[in-house]
Amino acid sequence: MGKGGKGTDAIGAGEGEEENMAAWLVAKNTLKIMPFKLPPLGPHDVRVRMKAVGICGSDVHYLREMRIAHFVVKEPMVIGHECAGVIEEVGTGVTHLAVGDRVALEPGISCWRCRHCKGGRYNLCDDMKFFATPPVHGSLAQQVVHPADLCFKLPDGVSLEEGAMCEPLSVGVHACRRAGVGPETAVLVMGAGPIGLVSLLAAKAFGAPRVVVVDVDPHRLSVASSLGADATVKVSTVAADVAAEVDRIKAAMGGAGDIDVSLDCAGFEKTVATALEATRPGGRVCLVGLGHNEMTVPLTSAAIREVDVVGIFRYKDTWPLCIEFLRSGKVDVKPLITHRFGFSQQDVEEAFEVSARGRDAIKVMFNL
């Protein structure tokens, strides 16, 4: 690599320089490893050699449908957003990071000018540029250029894979903050998929004395137990079972059965209904899982018990706390990483198959 920081030519495009390869979503169910020309390195950017990239449910959804809600993939797009790597080049204005630093990347670049950004809720920025949300390219690539302020140095003892896990863990952390989870909060987690599990880990790290996890799948519930769930409840998909299941969930919570906070990480009508009905008067329900656009749920019975309902959109300002949770051992994300792949065309195809299939796959990780 020649002299860095000039920013005249895109890196990787010059003769004799290695080509930067990335996993591109080119059509439904079609990913191709192809060259990815990096943008020039700005004064406040860093160039990162990617080392660990996880597959998210949203990546799989884009692969299957080429869209999520109103975000439509119209042109080939580099996929991936859960990532960590090693800094190879820093812009002239970057002072807090150096070549060789291991960093976890926060994927969203907000404008810092709009009212949401100024108000401290930059995750709501209208002008957000987020990895692998069209038309913005993602980070399943050998190298990416990213703003230095969104790259967080990993301490010794926190691996690059754990660094990549800061992204999904951030969803759980933000949900716990929005719901006000603390040392006196009895928490119900609906759904033991990847987001339910990180929400469980986050709730325990925030000090929740008792967390009950609910799912339809006994294997997922056994994983939740091994990760620290105080109790689990297996439920059905039958809507008529809600009342009986709420009784079982309250019994599993123990004591008076009071549930202060429910985190719905599944996003089905039934799971939202269960969360609303199970939460104690004056408690809070946080809608974490992206479900259907419209749902029929028992809102009135929640309203007259003053159960607050809040939503979340991604996260904000979570990386420092996630890294501290990992460093201190308050959170262990390693058991969530169930599958690992390299970065060949075949690896990428297989990894997404494994992730989409679900079953015993929780987090599928690329090691680049």
- Are the CB atoms for 145 and 88 separated by under 8 Å? no
Inter-axis angle of helices 194-205 and 166-179, to 10 degrees?
A: 60
Residues 317-356 that bind Zn ion (CB under 5 A): none
For Zn ion, the closer CB: 123 or 274: 123
- Are the CB atoms for 282 and 306 separated by under 8 Å? yes
For Zn ion, the closer CB: 114 or 310: 114
What is the size of the binding site for Zn ion (CB under 5 A)? Answer: 7
Among 26, 114, 295, 361, binds Zn ion (CB under 5 A): 114
For Zn ion, the closer CB: 127 or 184: 127
* Per-residue exposure over 274-306, b if at least 16 CB sit within 10 Å of its own CB, e if not: bbbbbbbeebbbbbbbbeeeeeebeeeebeeee
Among 20, 110, 133, 262, binds Zn ion (CB under 5 A): 110
Please name the residue ranges forming H helices in 120-193.
160-164, 166-179
Q: How far is the CB of 344 from Zn ion (least distance, A)?
A: 23
* Per-residue exposure over 224-254, b if at least 16 CB sit within 10 Å of its own CB, e if not: beebbbbbbbebeeeeeebeebbebbbebbe
For Zn ion, the closer CB: 56 or 242: 56
For Zn ion, the closer CB: 110 or 185: 110
Q: Which helix (H) or strand (E) holds 273?
A: helix 269-278
For Zn ion, the closer CB: 111 or 354: 111
**83 contacts Zn ion (rule: CB under 5 A):** no
Q: How far is the CB of 235 from Zn ion (least distance, A)?
A: 25
Among 111, 295, 299, 361, binds Zn ion (CB under 5 A): 111
3-state secondary structure of 34: strand
List C-alpha distances in Å: 143 to 45, 50, 53, 84.
13, 5, 11, 11
Q: How far is the CB of 89 from Zn ion (least distance, A)?
A: 26
For Zn ion, the closer CB: 125 or 351: 125
**Interface stretch with Zn ion, choices 45-53, 103-111, 318-326, 357-365 (CB under 5 A):** 103-111
Nearest alpha-carbon partner for 203 in 195, 211, 194 = 211
**Interface stretch with Zn ion, choices 14-22, 109-117, 212-220, 253-261 (CB under 5 A):** 109-117
Binding marks (x or -) toward Zn ion, 119..158, rule CB under 5 A? Answer: ------x---------------------------------
Binding marks (x or -) toward Zn ion, 6..45, rule CB under 5 A? Answer: ----------------------------------------
Nearest alpha-carbon partner for 311 in 331, 282, 291 = 291
Binding marks (x or -) toward Zn ion, 40..79, rule CB under 5 A? Answer: ----------------x-----------------------
**Interface stretch with Zn ion, choices 106-114, 238-246, 298-306, 331-339 (CB under 5 A):** 106-114
For Zn ion, the closer CB: 54 or 283: 54
Rounded CA-CA distance 230/367 in Å is: 33
Among 90, 104, 117, 213, binds Zn ion (CB under 5 A): 117
Please name the residue ranges forming H helices in 11-142.
57-65, 115-118
Q: How far is the CB of 168 from Zn ion (least distance, A)?
A: 5
CA angle 55, 61, 66 (to 5 degrees): 120
Residues in the chain: 368
Rounded CA-CA distance 306/287 in Å is: 16
Q: How far is the CB of 368 from Zn ion (least distance, A)?
A: 17
Q: How far is the CB of 176 from Zn ion (least distance, A)?
A: 17
Rounded CA-CA distance 78/343 in Å is: 14
**Interface stretch with Zn ion, choices 29-37, 107-115, 248-256, 295-303 (CB under 5 A):** 107-115
3-state secondary structure of 351: helix
Task: Using CB under 5 A, list all residues that contact Zn ion.
Answer: 56, 82, 110-111, 114, 117, 125
